[in-house]
Amino acid sequence: MKNLSLLALLFVLLSCQEVIPQKDYVVVHGKIENPIEGLGVRLFDPVSSKAITIKVAADGTYRDTIKLDKPAFFNTFYDKFFGLYLANDMDLEINFDAKNVSKSLTIKGKGEKENAFLRTKSKLEGELYGADYIAFLNVDKEVFDAKINKFTTDFKTALEQKKSELDPSFVNSQLKMFEELKKGIIQQYADAQRNKSELGAGKQSPDFKNYINYDGGKSSLSDFRGSYVFIDVWATWCGPCKYEFPFIGKVEKEFHGKNIKFVSISIDRLKDEQKWRDMIIAEGLSGIHLLADKEIESSFIAGYYIQAIPRFIILDKQGKIINSDAPRPSEPELTDLLNSLDM
């Protein structure tokens, strides 16, 4: 009877313990050394196209609460990019020095282990690609296969070692995302080999004619002969395309007065022409804006095998290809490439 009484008492005590409910939001806070005046911490979810900007105080401190429908991976930008995994009930302190984000970045608090693994994965990706991603996509097939196999082994070993410390849903999502990543890299390699033979530097660009020009009339690629041409292929429904808008504007300003035309080609439906025009006004976009004749089926789009946007292309003054898949405006490599041209 005495043992039964003790068991009953223990049951009562356990039943009386308060259950702390999980928060339905994430807390993100921290301090940035050498903050950039007027720049906020920008979080972008490439799946939902949801963008969040957290205001940074003059002393570099910032804090915000974010409600999520489900866990998400964010591309986080503050002068440089880093990946961030967020789920409701997390409380993360993220500190870094704006002068060297990658080396100074620290993430502490609930969710730090998942984000530490993201940095491990990022390191493995860096080892796979090397310093030049384009060069990686142009190595011999035997070298490429060896690199992919090593990447696969290293990733799965690292995840297995940390598996017990990580949220199961995070582990599952990482495995799924890894397979998608590997599949995408293999496809990009195949595309690069095809493009090298069909769309390599010095090849004549696929053509377009009589695209609707935002400023009136119609334009053809031949209208821009005599100037270098930077082409942005986008659409009003494309979140990653809209993310590049401010960066495109920055590059346009940097090369203003140079012998280069900035041409944006939308693959929106012709019946959505007004929506296209409205977004150009709403976003304050500059440059030359054209609307393709047959959306993704336009011969120019098909000629470049474009399956995903945004896509950036650089042509020389004779309409020949300099780069059929150029760096994005948000990447410093684009400015380096444009600076190398004789404008």
Residue 328, token pair as written in the block: 């994005």
Residue 179, token pair as written in the block: 């397979």
Place of tokens 């035309």: 261
Whether the upstream peptide bond of residue 310 has omega within 30° of 0, thus cis, is yes
Helices (H), 105-167: 112-129, 133-136, 141-162
Secondary structure (DSSP) of 59-101:
TSEEEEEE--SS-EEEEEEESEEEEEEE-TT-EEEEEEETTSH
Residue 100, token pair as written in the block: 């060297």
Place of tokens 């990580």: 166
C-alpha span between 134 and 218 (Å, rounded): 34
**Model pLDDT, residue 19:** 52
Across the chain, which has 343 residues, the per-10-residue mean pLDDT values are 50 51 90 95 90 96 96 91 93 96 94 95 94 88 96 97 94 95 94 87 95 97 97 95 95 95 97 97 96 94 92 97 94 94 89
Nearest Cα to Cα of residue 30 among 88, 112, 89 = 112
- CB contact at 8 A, 169 and 128: no
C-alpha span between 150 and 335 (Å, rounded): 33
**Model pLDDT, residue 11:** 52
Three-class SS state of 19 = coil
**Model pLDDT, residue 75:** 93
**Model pLDDT, residue 4:** 45
**Model pLDDT, residue 102:** 86
Residue 2, token pair as written in the block: 């005495």
**Model pLDDT, residue 134:** 80
Secondary structure (DSSP) of 187-248:
HHHHHHHHHHHHS-TTSBPP----EEETTSSEE-GGGGTTSEEEEEEE-TT-HHHHHHHHHH
* Radius of gyration from C-alpha coordinates of the chain: 25
- CB contact at 8 A, 126 and 154: no
